[in-house]
Amino acid sequence: MLAAVHHGWAPPDLLTAYERERKPVGEQFAGAVGSAARASLADVSPDIHLPGQDGERARAELADRLAVTEPHRYSPDGFSFGYHYASSPLVVGGEEQAVISMGGYQERAQPGFRLPHSWLDDGRSALDVLGPDFTLLRTDSTVDVEPWTDAARERGIPLTVADLPARWPDRYPTALLLVRPDQHIAWMGGADARPDELLHTVTGRLAAHQR
């Protein structure tokens, strides 16, 4: 966001969306970590300090509990890959989502979520084809992207266009995906899109009609 405003292809109003996007993620993560810690360490038997069989039994019970409660706290795939900005004013078509899970991660493209990874035939990740700024991914080569490149050029918005194989319809379910510089999806749709309106919205200029 700072780079977009600094380079002049987004208005300063774009920065007002930062807190709306990041604060809920931080609050949910802090709450989830606290909840996991309480599940791990609440009501621990004082016998864990004892020598002998009673102490060994108490320590074994605690170890069994930690084996269940701790992995997601130290490897939280849900937060690392599944946090989202679906309700952001910079995302078109996003819906209010349930609380982000520390352990769950759905590898399916959704507005506001991080673009899912897939291995391409040349050994690169789908994430490697993304440009440094906005990227329009196309899974259907028959869709004309010239309206997008024209609209981006007229507004001075840096836009990379890249093709993805069509063999993952469950992971990338639409013909076009507009991906932000932070690898989160700003919009998904098809050939009936209104690129000028959508590009205005994702750069903080005005609200777009959802299509």
Q: What is the pLDDT of residues 35-93, one digit of tens each?
A: 888 888 888 899 989 999 999 999 999 999 899 888 877 777 877 888 899 889 999 99
Residue 28 has pLDDT above 90, yes or no: no
The Cα–Cα gap between 48 and 119 comes to: 47
Identify the helix (H) or strand (E) that includes residue 196: helix 195-202
Average pLDDT over residues 147-160: 96
Model-level pTM?
Answer: 0.82
Domain topology for 2-31+76-202: Glutaredoxin (3.40.30)
Average pLDDT over residues 179-183: 96
The Cα–Cα gap between 205 and 78 comes to: 31
- Across the chain, mean pLDDT equals 89
Is 57 in contact with 45 (CB distance < 8 Å)?
no
Is 84 in contact with 74 (CB distance < 8 Å)?
no
Q: How confident is the model at residue 98 (pLDDT cuts 50, 70, 90)?
A: low
CA end-to-end span of the chain? 25
Domain regions of the chain by residue span: 2-31+76-202, 43-74
The Cα–Cα gap between 160 and 142 comes to: 18
